[in-house]
Copies of this chain bind each other. A is one copy, B any other.
Amino acid sequence: MTATTLDIIAIGNAIVDVISRADDAFITSEGIDKGSMRLVDTDTAEGLYSRMGPGIEASGGSAANTVAGIAALGGKCGFIGQVADDQLGRVFTHDIRSLGVQFDTPARSDEPPTARCLILVTPDAQRTMNTFLGASQFLPADALDPELIASAAILYLEGYLWDPEEPRAAMRKAIDIARGAGRKVAFTLSDAFCISRHRGDFQALIDGGLLDILFANEGEILSLTETNDFDAAVDQVSAKVPLLVVTRSERGAIAVKDGQRYAVPAEPIDRIVDTTGAGDLFAAGFLAGQAQGRSVTDSLTMGAIAAAEVISHYGARPETDLKALVENRLA
């Protein structure tokens, strides 16, 4: 087993978010499940865009947000994802590279355009996501560089990317490469609706012992195990995954490692503005902590710090110096 040069290599949707404030009545009138992520086609995306309010655009994508956070915390990261050769693709590429993340997936010159996610943020700071996958769904398995994947200590995958066929095949291939090289595989369950579409596959990954680290929130782990009993769900999954991390919104987060349970409270925050990216940045803080050799509890605290920062403003990537926040808190 050769030495690693990256802490994390992530595969995920390469998305630019379009973030807009909306009231609950608008969400209802559009017939959207508040708080969820739904996939939309071109017509639905354009119709919704024409009716929603003004937006701000910011690079997003769940795993991409996570590596952005890890990089901001000093970790060495790579990202694999598909953009189109267009203005939003250049925005995504600039933003992730400017953080020092290695991102070499060639832009795709054909239609469709770069993925975008129309995010409606309600006054309660909840985000409801409408994702037009665009170019992102065409990430081909042959875009994976086996050496790059083998060079990272952890391969990180997002459940959202299980929806489109080509990236799903690419992720399966990446898991093989990583495991073959003796690396760890981390996975985030992403979304309860996404799990309902792919429960069998996700359960098979877990039962097959293919996942070393699993991230979920409460709703997701309940959806995965099809139970209403949180502790039972955690016991069931943690029996099969060496390191399970479950976020619980304002109640903090827990981790279960080798049968031992750890918990941290949520970090205090003045005002929650937009919960987009909370889970992504929690994973970022946790994985950065692990990469720095910190304890499970300190890694959880780093997750809580990064999540608290990202929900204090619009957008799913950090706006303030995460490293300084962690240094102040864990000094």
Chain A contact-residue range equals: 20 to 34
Report whether B54 and A56 are in contact in the complex, using a CB–CB cutoff of 8 Å.
Answer: no
Chain B contacts of A56 at CB under 8 A?
56-58, 315
Contact status of A317 and B54, CB under 8 A, knowing A86-B87, A87-B88: yes
Of B21, B53, B58, B98, which contacts A57 at CB under 8 A? Answer: B58
CB contacts under 8 Å to B, within A87-106, are 87-88, 91, 94-96, 98-99
Q: Which residue of chain B has its CB nearest to the CB of A72?
A: B54
Chain B contacts of A54 at CB under 8 A?
59, 68, 94-96, 98-99, 317
- Chain A 160-178 interface mask (CB, 8 Å, partner B; 1/0): 0000000000000000000
The smallest beta-carbon distance between A7 and chain B, in angstroms, is 19
Chain B contacts of A52 at CB under 8 A?
98
Chain B contacts of A53 at CB under 8 A?
98-99
The smallest beta-carbon distance between A317 and chain B, in angstroms, is 7
A315 to B57, CA, bound (A): 11
Report whether A91 and B55 are in contact in the complex, using a CB–CB cutoff of 8 Å.
Answer: yes
Indicate whether A28 reaches chain B with its CB closer than 8 angstroms: no
Of B49, B88, B91, which contacts A94 at CB under 8 A? Answer: B49
Indicate whether A61 reaches chain B with its CB closer than 8 angstroms: no
Of B18, B68, B91, B94, which contacts A50 at CB under 8 A? Answer: B94
Q: Which residue of chain B has its CB nearest to the CB of A88?
A: B87
CB contacts under 8 Å to B, within A49-75, are 49-50, 52-59, 68
The smallest beta-carbon distance between A82 and chain B, in angstroms, is 17
Report whether B59 and A87 are in contact in the complex, using a CB–CB cutoff of 8 Å.
Answer: no
Q: Which residue of chain B has its CB nearest to the CB of A68?
A: B54
Indicate whether A113 reaches chain B with its CB closer than 8 angstroms: yes
- Chain A 97-128 interface mask (CB, 8 Å, partner B; 1/0): 01100000000000001000000000000000
Indicate whether A314 reaches chain B with its CB closer than 8 angstroms: yes
Indicate whether A261 reaches chain B with its CB closer than 8 angstroms: no
Indicate whether A313 reaches chain B with its CB closer than 8 angstroms: yes
Indicate whether A201 reaches chain B with its CB closer than 8 angstroms: no
Indicate whether A319 reaches chain B with its CB closer than 8 angstroms: yes
A96 to B317, CA, bound (A): 25
Q: Which residue of chain B has its CB nearest to the CB of A89?
A: B87
Q: Which residue of chain B has its CB nearest to the CB of A54?
A: B95
5 contacts between A and B (CB under 8 A): A50-B94, A54-B99, A55-B94, A56-B315, A313-B314
Nearest 5 CB-CB pairings of A with B: A57-B57, A54-B95, A87-B87, A56-B58, A54-B98
Known: A57-B57, A86-B87. 11 other contacts (CB 8 A): A18-B91, A49-B94, A52-B98, A54-B99, A56-B56, A56-B57, A56-B58, A56-B315, A57-B91, A313-B313, A313-B314
